[in-house]
Structure 1
Amino acid sequence: MSDTFDDIVLGAGTAGAVVAARLSEDSTRRVALVEAGPHYATPGQTPQDLLNANAMSLVGHDWGHSAGLTGSRRTAFPQGKVSGGSSAIGNTVMIRATPADFDEWAALGNSLWSWDQVLPQLRAIEDDLDFGADEFHGSGGPVPIRRWRSGELTAVQQLFLEGCLEAGYPHAADHNHPRSTGVGPIPSNRRDARQRVSTAMAYLWPATGRPNLTVFADALVDRVLIDDGAVTGVRVLEGADSARVLKARRIVVAAGAVGTPAVLLRSGVGPRETLEELGIPVQSPLSGIGEGLVDQPRIGVFMTPRPGKGNASASTGQIVLRTTAPAPAGGQERFNDMYYAMVNHFSLAHHFPQLRSAASTDAVFGIMAVVRRPHSRGRVGITSADPRVAPRIDLGYLSDDRDYAQFAEAVRTCWQLAHSAKIGAHAEKVVALEEKTVADDGLLRGYIDTVVDTAFNPVGTARMGPAGDPGAVVDQFGAVRGVEGLHVADASVFPSMVCANVALTVVLVGERMASMLREV
């Protein structure tokens, strides 16, 4: 087998699977896809935990990373280590970013990413099983979009829906309509009520058997090889001792907002001081690598279920409320920047583990809030040039004091909805939170410090921007500054956070970058 290719894609995750599949549609182009985890090429090969859309698979196909939250607090930070990446292990939520999100990207110097520019590609991605093809939806695309039917809702989901409507929030039959806001069923990447469709399933399965696409599974990327300012290939590790060099004229890094900056830094692309401290030869001294990490934090009001009310086999969530928080002092409102979800069940082994002792049980349910546009920023770095050493992840939560006001508003909204929607009849007790705490700013601040956790939506660690932006790592085509033939296509290129779960936007990045790459 030849080890020389036209394009090598590093990472078969939410975006990487898309890029490799789309590039290999050109039968004259030899494409390699390198994945650190396993690749399951058929439904029969795929483990049940990856097929089951009703639960996150956070153990068997995970990198095992941890991340700093606030101060000395750390948490597990799952990222998919399998073809399909986090789309194969995470919640199946496929909510679009808003038009304002994309227009902000364009205003930041990325004109090809405005709402009008990306809408046709969003429609082409979708096979919307509820709305079909119209002005805003697509039919026949690789990713199914299905919303929960009323007869499929658990009792607490129905009560949450009714409680939100009674509280005055509008009904949202379609959270993917550009003007939609309010409460309604989650759009999900599944064709039925149970089985997920990851990007591996949607894009790589149909590409199986293409002679011009080679998948290297269980292959860990060491570094991109760069000579005289241009890529020549990539060095990968296969097994404990075996190394292999794959050659190509172009490398597309799609290892995610955590993995991509680590790969770039090991390859000599990043802040000069950092690289020199680690003894890594500097290929392109870009200060923005790993900086500006944005991750959506979450908090909520959680309860222990009464016997028989646990909903353990149901999907984690079915109904969500999207709304706009009050404008911060001196700032402006941002449409749909708050997200409230009725959670059927959470295992405290993987979600909000700090509540475990107070709950005296392993599982809770309740109303969770996600702050879509936090002010705080974190970073991703490396402590070694060895790819087997995990990157250092600091989410930086609450490092900007303005975020406390957003969280306080979120917790109080969760409390009101939990107590107005008759959801309490399904609970034995509320965990670690009392009414006096909700009413007192100081006490509530302590609850926020203790409970805030990650919603697993990291972006922005190799962001795109114009030539005059000193923090930008790639241009709007995904080309890395200072290295010919090196591109990035994943969540790390987001120039700003979006008001949605990021999965569908990451698929969009894969599609859009692939279409641009096929033109050159």
Structure 2
Amino acid sequence: MEAFDYVIVGGGSAGCVLAHRLSAVPSLRVALIEAGADTPPGKVPEAILDSYPMPVFCGNTYIWPSLKARATKQAAERVYEQGRVMGGGSSINVQSANRGLPRDYDDWAENGAHGWAWDDVLPYFRKLEHDVNFADNPLHGKHGPIAIRRIMPDEWPPFCHAFAKGLRSNGLAMLQDQNAEFGDGFFPAAFSNLNDRRVTTATAYLDTATLRRPNLSIFANLRVERIVMNGVTAKGVVAVAQNGEQVRFDAREVVLAAGALQSPAMLLRAGIGDSRDLKALGLRCLIDSPGVGRNLQDHPSLTFCHFLEPRFRMPLTRRRASMTAARFTSGVQGCDSSDLYLSSATRAAWHALGNRLGLFFLWCNRPYSRGRVQLVSPDAGVAPRVDLNLLDDERDTARLAAGIRMLAKVIEASGLGEDRRDFFPAAFSPRVKALSRVSRGNAIVTSVLGALLDSPAPVRRFLIGRFFTRGQNMASLLASDDALHAFIRENVFGVWHASGTCRMGLSSDRHAVVDTQGRVRGAHGLRVVDASLMPRLPSANTNIPTIMIAEKIADTMLREQPRGAASPDAVYLHTTIS
């Protein structure tokens, strides 16, 4: 048994930040526990460093293989990819460095998360980043750990220019910086990458100097099984090694940074949640907190592909495939502006087949639908039930329909092809995912399929219908609202931006699980710091907002230390915003 001031559960987008910032105070003993593999300097797997993310994302090595989710109430459970490796989601995601819009955070503050308005969070967005392109812009930082860059139009391949042409023809203006220009438009997408290598929170915050700190202990391949509670006070955690050995860590404070699916599950197993649900599972309720596991949000998403003529293909040796994206307004009555997001990639997969297909991701910003995380067993080895309920609110279906119609107009004006049948819906199905795993067998199969796509058009149509669309085509979908809505309900999926399940808010709000500093209401020595805290999902990928949350709360935690506890260097770290 070891004792620490802080035990951080989860070495992901938030946990690595907390470990770095808190251990900067030499008098604080900090432990970081990660269920997956470590990625110390010089030993980061090539698959993680690669600018092209899909091979690592579609594999099983760095995710929780038993964690599944239902996209809608009618859908079957499917694996829901969440990082299980040092760096968490930042080690397997598409590297998007999207902050969202000021209105997202102003909305948080207006609805009970006081101190989290845009002006409050901007200093921490600046603190985390080293913006390669816009370091002199007052909205950006230039000394932070996370490098952020864009591939500008003069380096775009022909596919991106065609996509931009289609967007411009449909009234969207060119923006240079999605993180500083906040209207509708298209732009070079920002991503966490430097010198064509992924930047994770592990590589950025757990550098060699940080790992040498004698007061920081890193534990990998160790799954936290339960929080040790003494009444309503957290006293530590019990973790299980891969050989089954149990290890106890005592702590002055336990910080859950395990993500929006695992953190609420840990609270529930500790007896913090809806008393009726806990009783049904035979769990003693220590704190009746009905909001735990509720308010789950993800961006409802769809994917589409376009067959690419050889002139639009990009060599496989050029790794970064996603460069251009757009925000636009659905026009659905009562919905926000800039409520749709559209990103593109010059290849749909790593192989010869994927290199012949351009890929488009469409999702709803600020979704109205809400889901839930629930325990199905008190056993920590049993994954929780995850119901995303992505289309629980009809406004989300209507907005996706508007987005599909807009995308079809963009493609028509893009010049990507003369035959409309070369643009088609492409579900991210288990079969497609299986074909996306890197293997010699898949390389052979996709090489043959890729060559067949270059066959005469009738052969290509057959292959697209057989392997991608199951007979559906864009013309029939666009001709009928009923057909379009049915397609959306059947194919919608979550884009792995789970959030909101331990949301912060006012003490008078029974469904606010934590206060605005992440402290679990009714408990002592227990805090949550990850995407669970978000009251409402930002108009953004969640990685950069989650890092911001960790930076902001780490700053608060350091200010709570007794006077004289922090060294001058540590004080500089948490009070100076670059």
Instruction: Report if aligned partners of 1:348, 1:364 keep a CA contact under 8 Å in 2.
Output: no
Query: Structure 2: which amino acid aligns with 1:402?
Result: R
Matched residues in 2 for 1:155 and 1:134: separation?
Answer: 29
SS of equivalent to 1:136: coil
Contact 2:165 2:413 in 1 (8 A): no
Per the alignment, residue 320 of structure 2 pairs with 315
Tell me, yes or no, if structure 1 residue 115 matches structure 2 residue 148. Answer: no
Q: Secondary structure at the match of 2:507?
A: coil
8 Å contact 1:306–1:426 — kept in the other structure? no
How much does 1:428 deviate? 7.6
Cα distance in 2 between the residues matched to 1:399 and 1:108: 22
What displacement does 1:153 show? Answer: 2.1
Select which of 30, 46, 49 maps to 2:47. 49
Question: C-alpha distance in 1, partners of 2:153/2:394?
Answer: 40
The answer to whether the Cα contact below 8 Å between 2:227 and 2:270 also exists between their aligned partners in 1 is: yes
Matched, 1:377 2:377: no
The one-letter code of the counterpart of 1:126 is: E
Q: 2:330 aligns to what?
A: 325
Q: What is the rounded CA distance, in whole Å, between the counterparts of 1:369 and 1:453 in structure 2? A: 11
SS class of match (1:301): strand
Which residue does 2:22 correspond to in 1?
A: 23
Shift of 1:183: 0.6
Provide the residue aligned with 2:37 in structure 1.
38
Q: 2:487, 2:356 → 1: CA distance?
A: 19
Aligned to 1:503: 543
The residue type equivalent to 1:150 in the other structure is P
Runs of 4+ in 1 over 6 A off after TM superposition: 360-363
Q: SS where residue 363 of structure 2 aligns? A: strand
Q: Offset at 1:450? A: 2.3
Contact preservation (8 Å) 2:297, 2:498: yes
Structure 1 CA distance, aligned partners of 2:261 and 2:309? 39
Greater CA radius of gyration, 1 or 2?
Answer: 2
Q: Structure 1 residue 263: deviation in Å?
A: 1.2
Q: CA deviation at 1:149?
A: 2.5
Q: Say yes or no: does 1:396 pair with 2:398.
A: no
Deviations 1:13-59 (A, max 9, x none): 011111111111111100000100011111x2111110012223222
1:218-297 alignment runs, 5 A limit: 218-297=221-300
Distance change in 2, residues 1:325/1:251 (3 Å) = same
Specify which of 494, 504, 526 is matched with residue 486 of structure 1: 526
TM-score by length of structure 2 reads 0.83
Equivalent residues of 2:188, 2:324 under 8 A apart: yes
In the alignment, is the contact (CA less than 8 A) between 1:156 and 1:342 conserved in 2?
Answer: no
Letter in 1 for 2:348: F
Gaps in structure 2 of 5+ consecutive residues:
425-468, 561-578
Distance 1:179 1:407, change over 3 A: closer
Letter in 1 for 2:46: Q
What is the SS of the residue equivalent to 2:260?
helix
Aligned to 1:435: 475
CA shift for structure 1 position 110: 1.6
2:336 is aligned to 334
Q: What is the aligned counterpart of 1:472 among 512, 517, 542?
A: 512
CA distance in 1, matches of 2:158, 2:418: 11
State the alpha-carbon separation in 1 of the partners of residues 43 and 273 from structure 2. 39
1:94 aligns to 2:110 (yes or no): no
Q: Are 1:463 and 2:492 counterparts?
A: no
| Distance (Å, rounded) in 2 between the aligned partners of 1:240 and 1:426 | 57
Report the Cα offset of residue 364 of structure 1. 4.0
Q: Give the conservation status (yes or no) of the 8 Å contact 1:126–1:141.
A: yes
Cα distance in 1 for partners of 2:418, 2:162 equals: 10
**Following TM superposition, by how much is the alpha carbon of 1:374 offset from its aligned partner in structure 2, in angstroms?**
1.9
Q: Does 1:512 align with 2:552?
A: yes
Q: Is the 8 A contact 1:63 1:81 kept in 2?
A: yes
- The aligned amino acid for 2:367 is P
Please state whether the residue corresponding to 2:487 is helix, strand or coil. helix
Whether the 8 Å contact between 2:170 and 2:409 is mirrored in structure 1 is: no
Distance 1:426 1:150, change over 3 A: farther
Amino acid paired to 1:55:
P
450 and 327 in structure 1: CA distance in 2 versus 1, 3 angstrom threshold: closer
Matched with 2:457 is: none
Instruction: Quote the offset at 1:238 in angstroms.
Output: 0.9
CA distance in 1 between partners of 2:552 and 2:133 (Å): 25
Shift of 1:303: 2.7
Partner residue of 1:420 out of 404, 408, 413: 413
Greater helix proportion: 2
Structure 1 unaligned regions, length at least 5: 350-359
SS at 1:516's partner residue?
A: helix
**Counterpart amino acid of residue 533 in structure 2:** V
- Which moves more between the two structures, 313-322 or 103-112? 313-322
Give the aligned partner of residue 347 of structure 2.
345
**What amino acid does structure 2 have at the position aligned with 1:50?**
I
* Alpha-carbon offset, residue 344 of structure 1: 1.9
- The equivalent residue for 2:64 is 63
Partner amino acid, structure 1, of 2:157? T
SS in 2 for 1:9: strand
**Structure 1 letter corresponding to 2:555:** S
Displacement of 1:276:
1.9
**Structure with greater strand share of residues:** 1
Identity of aligned residues (%): 32
Cα deviation, 1:219-246, whole Å, max 9, x if unaligned, reads: 1011111102211110111124211110
Q: 2:520 matched to 1:446? A: no
State TM-score, norm by structure 1: 0.92
Distance between the aligned counterparts of 2:501 and 2:108, measured in 1?
15
Output the CA distance in 1 between the equivalents of 2:350 and 2:543: 23
SS across alignment from 1:345: coil
Does the 8 Å contact 1:301/1:411 carry over to 2?
no
Is the contact between residue 37 and residue 82 of structure 1 (CA under 8 Å) also seen in structure 2?
yes
Encode CA deviations 1:436-493: one digit per residue, 9 max, x unaligned. Answer: 3213101111221222122111110000000111111000010001110100000000
Name 1:355's counterpart in structure 2: none
Structure 1 match to 2:197: 195
Aligned pairs for 1:2-17 (under 5 A) are 3-17=2-16
**Matching residue's letter, 2:329:** T
Please give the secondary structure, in 1, of the residue aligned with 2:361. Answer: strand
- Equivalences for residues 73-92 of structure 1 within 5 A: 73-92=76-95
State the superposition RMSD in angstroms.
2.1
Gap change, CA 1:450 and 1:343, over 3 Å in 2: farther
Q: CA deviation at 1:74?
A: 3.2
Alignment correspondent of 1:357: none
Question: Compared with structure 1, are the counterparts of its residues 362 and 314 closer, same or farther at alpha carbon in structure 2 (3 Å cutoff)?
Answer: closer
Aligned residues: 504
Q: Within 1, Cα distance between the matches of 2:350 and 2:479?
A: 26
Deviation at 1:61, TM superposition (A): 0.3
Equivalent residues of 2:332, 2:399 under 8 A apart? no
Instruction: Tell whether the 8 Å contact from 1:220 to 1:387 is kept in structure 2 after alignment.
Output: no
Displacement of 1:115 in angstroms is 0.9
Matching of residue 182 in structure 1 with residue 185 in structure 2? yes
* Alpha-carbon distance between aligned partners in 2 of 1:88 and 1:52, rounded to the nearest angstrom: 10
User: SS of the counterpart of 1:423?
Assistant: coil
Matches within 5 A, 1:112-191: 112-191=115-194
Give the secondary structure class of the aligned counterpart of 1:234.
strand
C-alpha distance in 2, partners of 1:105/1:491?
13
The residue identity in structure 1 corresponding to 2:13 is T
